[in-house]
């Protein structure tokens, strides 16, 4: 967890983080601050008990601390990965399993980086949530029956019959 | 247009008792835990085990003889439950399908769709009661129903393998919900319904079934919406 920082470094840090300046008497005691800067986590231990509450309060106010989000009813789309590219993943999404409607959609690869053994054919559940002013995509590992594999097995079987000449008219009468 | 809320919507699938329910929870239901915001298990290791998967807007409840999903929502969310990709399909029916695939699964017995709909009005309690008794009760009966009484009309319909119970009456605050075993937890919903007045519909559809599908769920919800529209008009 963090490291002890000397007074000179505290001043530099406060300046970098645009925090209000601490007085010399406030630079002697200890606080821990966990800062989240975009996707980076900076763990810093400062020696400053007196301003602990003030700095934490300012941080939360400036960053907008969200206690609980109320999303509208989510849309859950069972999907199968069909192609993994350098920065994107292409998924076959079952947007309507009842009427067997599928769509190919492309997502950023980062959304799948938490899934172990990501490969073509893997099943995922894409969860789309919305509320006024915001939308959210969650990608959940669909293995272990979370996504029904049979949805895609049937489609794959139909796809395998493509270009097999089944649409051609029979040459003549077939006697069975 | 008056607002409509659904303080309770419960869809239940009942089946023959599962002796290996504890194994089913740990093997087949466990993978869905990552979708839930919380999981609680009571009486673990016994046949009375209860597994609750808690999500943002709903709860999935599993016992050895039933699985149910319970919602508290507004009318728009209620309508979206019948759309493709709703939480009824995934994870509720998906969990049920994995349970059904277990060799120990016997058969489905029946389903229950219980929905409580509340339409708020601008009138106060006295006006709602008076309007209700003047509209639906004959002059010989309405004098018995004064402004402080609880009024409702229940219609029961029995068809082959299907029973529908339709109750409607004035809504006079949160106590009316408690009487019908609906105790909403959502703070915004409670705030919208507390000390407000209007009309309430309690619909229960119980149907014997051999197979369950999303289409069946949509059919029962469509019946409920049809009944609501006959009373309150198209929303």
Taking the Cβ of residue B79 and every Cβ of chain A, the question of whether any pair is shorter than 8 Å is answered with: no
What is the C-alpha separation between B37 and A52, in angstroms, rounded? 31
- Residue B171, classed as helix, strand or coil, is strand
Residue B76 has pLDDT above 50, yes or no: yes
pLDDT string in tens for chain A (176-residue length): 444 444 555 555 555 554 444 444 444 333 344 444 333 444 444 434 445 555 555 544 544 445 467 788 889 999 999 999 999 999 999 999 988 899 999 999 999 999 988 999 999 999 999 988 999 999 999 988 999 998 888 766 767 777 777 766 767 776 66
Taking the Cβ of residue B221 and every Cβ of chain A, the question of whether any pair is shorter than 8 Å is answered with: no
Between strands A123-131 and A40-46, the pairing is unpaired
Of B32, B76, B213, Cβ closest to residue A146: B32
What is the C-alpha separation between B202 and B179, in angstroms, rounded? 11
What is the C-alpha separation between B136 and B7, in angstroms, rounded? 25
What is the C-alpha separation between B180 and B6, in angstroms, rounded? 13
What is the C-alpha separation between A64 and A92, in angstroms, rounded? 36
- Cα B5–B8–B10 angle (5° rounding)? 135
What is the C-alpha separation between B74 and A101, in angstroms, rounded? 28
Q: What is the pLDDT of residue A128?
A: 94
Listed in order, strand segments (DSSP E) in B75-107 are none
Q: What is the pLDDT of residue B148?
A: 59
What is the C-alpha separation between A40 and B80, in angstroms, rounded? 37
Residues of A in contact with B188 (CB under 8 A): 70
- Find the mean pLDDT for residues B15-25: 96
Residues of A in contact with B35 (CB under 8 A): 125, 127, 140, 146
Q: What is the residue whose two structure tokens read 């079934």?
A: B209
Residue B12 has pLDDT above 90, yes or no: yes
Residues of B in contact with A78 (CB under 8 A): 90
- Residue A126, classed as helix, strand or coil, is strand
- Find the mean pLDDT for residues B126-146: 72
Q: What is the pLDDT of residue A52?
A: 53
Tokens of B138: 């004959």
Taking the Cβ of residue A70 and every Cβ of chain B, the question of whether any pair is shorter than 8 Å is answered with: yes
Taking the Cβ of residue B85 and every Cβ of chain A, the question of whether any pair is shorter than 8 Å is answered with: yes
pTM of the model: 0.76
Residues of B in contact with A72 (CB under 8 A): 76-77, 80
Q: What is the pLDDT of residue A76?
A: 95
Q: What is the pLDDT of residue A48?
A: 45
Is the CB of B85 less than 8 angstroms away from the CB of A73?
Answer: no
**Beta carbon pairs, A and B, within 8 Å:** 62
Residue B112 has pLDDT above 90, yes or no: yes
ipTM for the whole predicted complex goes beyond 0.85? no
Q: What is the pLDDT of residue A117?
A: 87
What is the C-alpha separation between B38 and B59, in angstroms, rounded? 10
What is the C-alpha separation between B126 and B139, in angstroms, rounded? 18
User: What is chain B's mean pLDDT, rounded?
Assistant: 89
Q: What is the residue whose two structure tokens read 């009966």?
A: B141
Q: What is the pLDDT of residue A32?
A: 40
What is the C-alpha separation between B7 and B58, in angstroms, rounded? 11
The per-residue pLDDT for range B155-184, each reduced to its tens digit, is 999 999 999 999 999 898 888 888 888 888
What is the C-alpha separation between A117 and A146, in angstroms, rounded? 16
Of A74, A98, A141, Cβ closest to residue B215: A98
- Find the mean pLDDT for residues B61-68: 97
Interface test with A, best of B72, B84, B98 (most A CBs within 10 A): B84
Is the CB of B90 less than 8 angstroms away from the CB of A78?
Answer: yes
Is the CB of B188 less than 8 angstroms away from the CB of A70?
Answer: yes
Residues of B in contact with A77 (CB under 8 A): 85
Residue B203 has pLDDT above 70, yes or no: yes
Confidence grade of residue B145 (pLDDT, cut at 50, 70, 90): low
Residues of A in contact with B87 (CB under 8 A): 73-74, 76
Interface test with A, best of B38, B56, B76, B85 (most A CBs within 10 A): B85
- HSE, CB side, 13 Å, CA atoms: give it for residue B127: 8
What is the C-alpha separation between B188 and A68, in angstroms, rounded? 13
Confidence grade of residue B135 (pLDDT, cut at 50, 70, 90): confident
Q: What is the pLDDT of residue A86?
A: 94
């Amino acid at each position: 967890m963090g490291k002890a920082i000397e007074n000179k470094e505290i001043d530099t840090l406060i300046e970098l983080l645009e925090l209000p300046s601490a007085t010399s008497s406030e630079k002697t005691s200890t606080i821990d601050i966990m800062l989240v800067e975009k996707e980076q986590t900076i763990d810093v231990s400062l020696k400053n008990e007196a301003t602990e509450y003030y700095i934490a309060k300012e941080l939360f106010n400036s960053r907008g601390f969200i206690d609980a989000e109320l999303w509208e009813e989510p849309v859950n789309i069972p999907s199968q990965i069909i192609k993994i590219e350098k920065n994107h993943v292409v998924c076959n999404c079952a947007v309507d399993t009842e009427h067997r409607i599928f769509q190919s959609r492309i997502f950023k690869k980062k959304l799948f980086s938490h899934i172990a053994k990501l490969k073509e054919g893997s099943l995922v559940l894409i969860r789309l949530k919305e509320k006024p002013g915001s939308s959210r995509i969650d990608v959940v590992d669909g293995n272990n029956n979370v996504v029904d594999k049979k949805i895609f097995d049937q489609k794959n079987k139909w796809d395998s019959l493509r270009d097999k000449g089944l649409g051609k008219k029979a040459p003549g009468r077939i006697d069975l | 247009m008056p607002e409509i809320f659904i303080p309770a919507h419960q869809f239940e699938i009942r089946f023959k008792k599962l002796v290996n329910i504890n194994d089913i929870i740990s093997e087949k239901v466990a993978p869905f835990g990552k979708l839930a915001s919380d999981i609680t298990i009571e009486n673990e290791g016994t046949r009375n085990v209860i597994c609750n998967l808690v999500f943002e807007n709903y709860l999935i409840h599993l016992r050895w003889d039933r699985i149910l999903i319970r919602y508290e929502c507004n009318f728009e969310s209620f309508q979206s439950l019948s759309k493709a990709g709703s939480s009824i399909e995934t994870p509720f029916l998906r969990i049920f399908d994995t349970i059904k695939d277990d060799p120990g699964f016997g058969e489905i017995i029946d389903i229950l769709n219980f929905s409580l709909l509340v339409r708020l009005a601008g009138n106060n309690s006295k006006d709602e009661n008076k309007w209700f008794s003047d509209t639906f009760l004959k002059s010989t009966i309405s004098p018995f129903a004064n402004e402080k009484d609880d009024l409702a009309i229940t219609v029961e319909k029995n068809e082959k393998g299907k029973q529908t119970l339709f109750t409607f009456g004035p809504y006079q605050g949160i106590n009316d919900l408690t009487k019908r075993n609906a105790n909403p937890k959502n703070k915004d919903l409670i705030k919208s319904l507390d000390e407000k007045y209007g009309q309430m519909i309690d619909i229960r559809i119980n149907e014997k079934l051999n197979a369950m599908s999303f289409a069946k769920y949509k059919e029962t919800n469509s019946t409920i919406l049809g009944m609501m529209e006959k009373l309150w008009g198209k929303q």
